[in-house]
């Protein structure tokens, strides 16, 4: 697997600055077991099918990108501009439309269907979504303030922020001071998530760990910007690729104890001390 290292300038020149990506939906979290019987928390994503609605080119638009649409929308809930734009691609209006900047438009045209097989098992991806809104929260929950050490003996601080500035110089509250306020409902990108399973028939992908957003929220899935490999867009009939990667998970305490016991058993016994 070709990985873009921090000093991998030659690979970066071949790949360019942009990459492939798809649109999808977060379905929820569950757990799976790997080949060694270890439990892993995974998030199940519905990735595609995405329809290519438009191709943006440098000659006409000043940049190069592919405009994707995900999930059909009722005609009664669509305006004429949306219907006309989708009609050019031979499809219905879409609920979720985003552009993916890419250096490769090979094999793509309006109306092309892209599926989850554009990613491979073992890939590292970046997932972008809107985080869950938590409303108005205090500084302890929003910024991780510790709060007062004790809530007894007349202590009145509790979960309050404390001092936010001085009264003489500069005589005002500086910009950027952490305070209570609205928390969540922000555009968040989680990077370097491992793809563990792909179900091409049902357009499903299981990734390691959590991704931003609530259930049934829309997300953007791109190949990891920090761990990229050379690739091109794949058509729906292409098989799912599987990459070999090293599992760098730290060994458990039982495994460490067993390894230490085995090493002690292999160690030769010390020779008895010679008497004078």
Contact 119, 239 (CB under 8 A): no
Same domain, 45 and 158: no
Report pLDDT for 269.
Answer: 59
Strand partners, 26: 45
Q: How many domains does the chain have?
A: 2
Same domain, 154 and 212: no
Same domain, 123 and 146: no
Domain residue limits at 140: 134-162+170-183
Same domain, 74 and 129: yes
Same domain, 28 and 86: yes
Domain presence at residue 273: no
State both tokens at 76.
């009664």
pTM over 0.85: no
Q: Give the CATH number of the domain where residue 219 resides.
A: 2.40.30.10
Domain presence at residue 275: no
Domain presence at residue 155: yes
Same domain, 56 and 138: no
Pick from 34-38, 115-119, 228-232, 259-263 the range whose average pLDDT is largest: 115-119
Same domain, 230 and 107: yes
| Average of per-residue pLDDT values in the chain | 82
Domain stop point among 183, 216, 249: 183
Kindly indicate the confidence band of residue 109, based on its pLDDT and cuts at 50, 70 and 90: confident
Report pLDDT for 117.
Answer: 87
Residue range 165-175: mean pLDDT, rounded:
83
Kindly indicate the confidence band of residue 152, based on its pLDDT and cuts at 50, 70 and 90: low
Same domain, 139 and 18: no
The 10s digit of each residue's pLDDT in 5-21 is: 444 434 444 445 467 88
Report pLDDT for 97.
Answer: 92
C-alpha to C-alpha distances, 38 to 35, 83, 113, 155, 250, nearest whole angstrom: 8, 49, 36, 47, 12
Same domain, 234 and 112: yes
Same domain, 21 and 154: no
Domain presence at residue 84: yes
Same domain, 174 and 39: no
Contact 18, 207 (CB under 8 A): no
Same domain, 127 and 78: yes
Residue range 191-213: mean pLDDT, rounded:
91
How far is it, in rounded angstroms, from Cα 105 to Cα 109?
Answer: 8
Kindly indicate the confidence band of residue 106, based on its pLDDT and cuts at 50, 70 and 90: confident
Domain presence at residue 1: no
Report pLDDT for 171.
Answer: 83
Kindly indicate the confidence band of residue 181, based on its pLDDT and cuts at 50, 70 and 90: very high
Burial of 188 (0-12, 13-18, 19+ CB in 10 A): middle
């Amino acid at each position: 697997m070709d990985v873009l290292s921090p000093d991998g300038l030659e690979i970066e020149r071949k790949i360019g600055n942009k990459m492939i990506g798809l649109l999808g939906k977060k379905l929820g979290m569950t757990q799976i077991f790997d080949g060694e019987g270890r439990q892993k928390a995974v998030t199940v994503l519905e990735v595609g099918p995405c329809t290519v609605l438009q191709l943006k080119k440098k000659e006409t638009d000043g940049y190069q990108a592919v405009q994707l649409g995900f999930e059909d929308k009722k005609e009664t809930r669509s305006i004429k501009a949306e219907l006309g734009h989708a009609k050019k691609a031979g499809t219905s209006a879409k609920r979720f439309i985003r552009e993916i900047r890419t250096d490769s438009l090979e094999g793509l045209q309006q109306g092309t269907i892209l599926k989850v097989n554009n990613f491979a098992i073992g890939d590292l991806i970046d997932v972008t979504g809107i985080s869950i809104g938590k409303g108005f929260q205090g500084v302890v929950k929003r910024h991780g303030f510790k709060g007062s050490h004790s809530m007894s003996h007349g202590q009145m601080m509790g979960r309050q922020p404390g001092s936010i500035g001085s009264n003489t110089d500069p005589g005002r509250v500086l910009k950027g001071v952490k305070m209570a306020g609205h928390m969540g409902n922000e555009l968040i990108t989680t990077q370097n998530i491992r793809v563990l399973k792909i179900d091409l028939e049902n357009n499903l992908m299981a990734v390691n760990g959590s991704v931003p957003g609530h259930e049934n929220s829309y997300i953007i899935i791109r190949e990891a910007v920090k761990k990229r490999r050379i690739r091109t867009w794949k058509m729906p009939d292409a098989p799912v690729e599987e990459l070999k990667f090293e599992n760098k998970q730290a060994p458990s305490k039982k495994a460490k104890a067993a390894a230490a016991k085995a090493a002690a058993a292999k160690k030769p016994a010390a020779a008895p001390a010679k008497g004078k």
